[in-house]
Amino acid sequence: MHKGTLIALGGGFDDDLIKLIRSEICPVQSNIEVIATAATQPKESGSAYKEAFEELGCGRVQFMLIDEDHAADQPEYISRIQQADVIFFTGGDQVRLIEFLNGTQLLEIMRRRYHQEPIIIAGTSAGAAIMSDRMIYDGYGHYSLIKGEMKTTIGFGFINNVYLDTHFVERGRFGRLAHAVAHDPEYVGIGLSEETGIIIKEGNKVEVFGTGVVTIIDASKIRFSNTRQVDENEPIAVEHLIMHMLVEGYRYCLKEHLFQPVEGHMPRPAEEEASDAAASLA
């Protein structure tokens, strides 16, 4: 069982994510490490997130500068990551995260701690997409349904057999996520809309937060797929992909391929009205 918790946001306005991280940790003196390697201006981005956490009362926030000129495996960084309660990855270019952190002792410590300790690992946009053992890094619109247009590579491996895609609705990424899981049917695809995210507990239970929709694409029941046989630059064909749409108050269990409500969730007013209308027709 994974003892840590993953929190991933689909991008966009991220105040709710920062507040959620703050509410998930207690006391406010928890050690928070921000890693802004993906950002175009990592120093400025790291400072901005540090300030955002501090405005919520978090008193022990630092950021790590890891890039072309600053190695990940510095003794100071290793010591700090061993003591962190929260590790937060900013948005930007996820390939930079892979370039500068994969294969490092620092990342290996993060993985070990996530599996063995109740640490929180969070990220938005690129910082969310890198959380699994593989990630999608290319594929645009309808072209992503052409073999060779959708590309994947290794991720950070906090969780396995999941593809996390961000800015999902806003950037038309259904095709590339469907293509990815059709090619690798042992993977579950999770598409995160902007300002909407997930909390993954025990490496299995996916719960939603935010105002939008999380899309689940399950390829475990595929009857036919030509993704491995068709030639490059040819369209793919897939039979019997299963899709779910989750909003806050519902969860998806990855191992069981199960959609269910979250226990104790209070329905929103619209849900209450729909329930009353259904009762009156019964």
Length of the chain counted residue by residue: 282
Bridge partners of 146, per DSSP, are: 235
Peptide bond into 75 cis (omega under 30): no
Q: Cβ distance 126 to 97 under 8 Å?
A: yes
User: What pTM did the predictor assign?
Assistant: 0.91
pLDDT tens column, 25-44: 766 789 999 999 999 999 99
Buried residues in 219-258 as b, exposed as e (16+ CB within 10 A): beebeebebeeeeeeeebebeebeeeebebbbbbebeeee
In this predicted structure, the answer to whether residue 66 has a pLDDT above a threshold of 90 is yes
Q: How many domains does the chain have?
A: 1
Mean pLDDT value of segment 93-111? 97
pLDDT above 70: percentage of residues in the chain: 93
Tokens of 11: 């991008």
Cα–Cα dist 68/38, whole Å: 12
Q: Domain with 100 in it: what CATH number?
A: 3.40.50.880
Beta-sheet strands, E only, within 48-141: 61-64, 86-89, 120-124, 134-138
Lowest mean pLDDT among 71-80, 186-195, 206-215, 273-282: 273-282
Is the pLDDT at 274 greater than 60, yes or no?
no
The β-bridge partners of 7 are 122, 199
Q: How confident is the model at residue 278 (pLDDT cuts 50, 70, 90)?
A: very low
> 44-55 burial, b for 16+ CB within 10 Å, e for fewer?
ebbeebbebbee
Q: Is the pLDDT of residue 118 over 50?
A: yes
| Full domain range(s) for residue 11 | 5-281
